Amino acid sequence: MGALPGGARVVLEAPRGVTAGGAAAADEEPIFDLLGIDHLGESIYGFVLREGGAGARSVATQFGITEEFATTRLEELRGMGLIARLSGERGAYSAIDPRFALRALTDRHSDGIARIRARVPALAEHFDRARTAAPDHRETQVLSNPDDVAAWYARLQHQAAHEFMAFDRPPYVSAAANPLETVVLDRGVTWRAIYAAASFETEGSWEEAQMLAARGEQARVAPDLPVKLAIADRSIALVSLTLDPTRREAVVTESPSLVKALCDLFEFYWASAIPVPSDRADAAGLDAGIAAPEGQNRAATREERVLLTLIAAGLKDDVIARQLGMSSRTLRRRSQDLMSELGAANRFQAGVQAAKRGWV
C-alpha cells in the first residue's frame, strides 16, 4: 500500500472489521462515494471522528499505509471541509461537527444535481432540433405520430421513380382510398399492391381496388398480411411496428439489408396471393369469348372470377355479398353452383380447381 514510483497514488480499502465511527462499517455498503469519497477515505474520516482527532502517523498505522499517503488522504478530507488541521501538533487533525460539515457538502452536491436537471430541457431541445434538421442523414428512424406516418407514406409515393410495392391492410392512418396512386401510375411507375382480406370490409373498397387495377395497378389479395408496408424503388421502406388501432408506430429505413429483407417478404406473399380481376382484363376479352384453356369448355365470367378471388382470399360471405351487391342467399346459391361446376367440396378445393382452369 502507498505511493507507486513516480508519485502515482494507490487507493486502498480499509481492512475488514474496521468500524469507522459513524461511517460505513465493514459489513455495510459505503455511502460517501456519492460525495466523491472512496471507501478508504470514508474509513479514515470515521477513524478521526471516533478518536476525536488523529495524526498522519496513527492513521498510517491503523490502515497499513505510508505516513505520506495518510497525510495526502487527510488533506483531501480537509479540502472537503470534513476535518481541520490542528495548529498545536504537527500532522494532527480533528473532525468538524458532521451536522454542519456533511450537510454543507451534501447541499453543494444537491445544488449541482439541480443545475444539471435544470439544463435537461435545453439539451433535449438541441437533440430534437438536430434530429429534425437532418432526417435524411439517418438510415433508420422510428415514427410514433400518425401525421408523420401518413406524411412519409405520401413522400415515398412522390419519391418513387420506377417501382412501388405495398401491403394494404387496416388500420389506416388516413383514408384507405389513395388519390396519389393514380398520379404515380400516370408517371409510369410500376405499382404492385397486396390487399389483406380485411381491406375489403369497408363499403366501396372492392370497387376502389378494381378501379386502380384498371388504371394499371398490379393487385393481389391474401387472407392476411403481417404488417403494413410500402417500399419505393427497393431503396427506402416504411413498415408498421404495430397493428394496434390505438397506436400508430412505424419505421422508415434506408438500410440496404433491412430494405432487402422487406422486399423478400413482399415477394413471398406476392407469389401466393390471388390476382384481382380488373375491368382492363375484361376489356381485353376474357368475358367476351376468349378461348378457354385447352380441354375446358369455357372461360370464367367476370363475376365468377371476382367471386373466386374473394372466396380464395378468405372473405366472409356477408362481406362478399355486400361487395358484389347481392343478398347472402343469392351469394350462397351462386357459390354452390360454382363449386359444383368445379367439382369442389370446399373453398380450398374450389381455389385449386379454379387455378388449374386459369380462372384465377
Q: Where are the domains of the chain?
A: 5-96, 102-133, 141-276, 285-357
Q: What is the pLDDT of residue 139?
A: 81
Higher pLDDT, 126 or 218: 218
C-alpha cell at 182: 393514380
On the question of pLDDT at 286 being above 50, the answer is no
At 145-168, the pLDDT tens digits run 888 898 899 999 999 999 999 999
Mean pLDDT score of the chain: 78
Q: Which of 47-56, 207-216, 336-345 is predicted most confidently?
A: 47-56
Q: Give strand ranges (E) for the chain.
A: 54-55, 83-85, 92-95, 140-143, 163-168, 190-196, 218-222, 229-232, 236-240, 250-253, 274-275
CB under 8 Å to 157, separation ≥6 — which residues? 164, 178, 180, 181, 184, 230, 232
> What's the topology of domain 5-96?
Arc Repressor Mutant, subunit A (1.10.10)
> What's the topology of domain 285-357?
Arc Repressor Mutant, subunit A (1.10.10)
CB 74 within 8 A of CB 93: yes
Q: What is the pLDDT of residue 12?
A: 37
Looking only at the bridges linking them, the beta strands covering 190-196 and 163-168 are parallel
At 212-266, the pLDDT tens digits run 888 899 999 888 899 999 999 999 999 999 888 888 899 999 999 999 999 999 9
Q: What is the pLDDT of residue 19?
A: 41
Q: What is the pLDDT of residue 336?
A: 82
On the question of pLDDT at 97 being above 60, the answer is yes
Half-sphere exposure of 212 (CA within 13 A, CB side): 27
Integer Cα distance of 225 and 258 in angstroms = 18
CB 287 within 8 A of CB 302: yes
Average of per-residue pLDDT across 170-197: 82
Can you list the pairs that 91-94 forms with residues at least 24 positions away whose Cβ atoms lie under 8 Å? 91/55, 91/56, 91/57, 92/53, 92/54, 92/55, 93/48, 93/53, 93/54, 93/55, 94/48, 94/52, 94/53
Q: How far apart are the first and last CA of the chain?
A: 86
Average of per-residue pLDDT across 44-73: 91
Q: What is the pLDDT of residue 287?
A: 41
Q: Report helix, strand and coil shares of the chain as percent, to nearest 5.
A: 50, 15, 35
Integer Cα distance of 162 and 195 in angstroms = 21
Average of per-residue pLDDT across 38-52: 91
Q: What is the pLDDT of residue 192?
A: 96
On the question of pLDDT at 106 being above 60, the answer is yes
Beta bridge partners of 236: 232
Integer Cα distance of 278 and 354 in angstroms = 17
CB 10 within 8 A of CB 4: yes
Task: Check the CA dihedral 265-270-273-278 and report its sign.
Answer: positive
Q: Of the CATH numbers 3.60.40.10, 3.30.430.20, 3.30.870.10, 3.50.50.60, which one belongs to the domain with range 141-276? A: 3.30.870.10
Average of per-residue pLDDT across 165-189: 80
Half-sphere exposure of 58 (CA within 13 A, CB side): 15
Question: DSSP secondary-structure letter at 292?
Answer: P
Integer Cα distance of 323 and 319 in angstroms = 6
Higher pLDDT, 296 or 49: 49
% of residues, the chain, pLDDT over 90 = 27
Q: What is the pTM of this model?
A: 0.52
Q: What is the pLDDT of residue 1?
A: 37
Same CATH topology for 5-96 and 285-357: the answer is yes
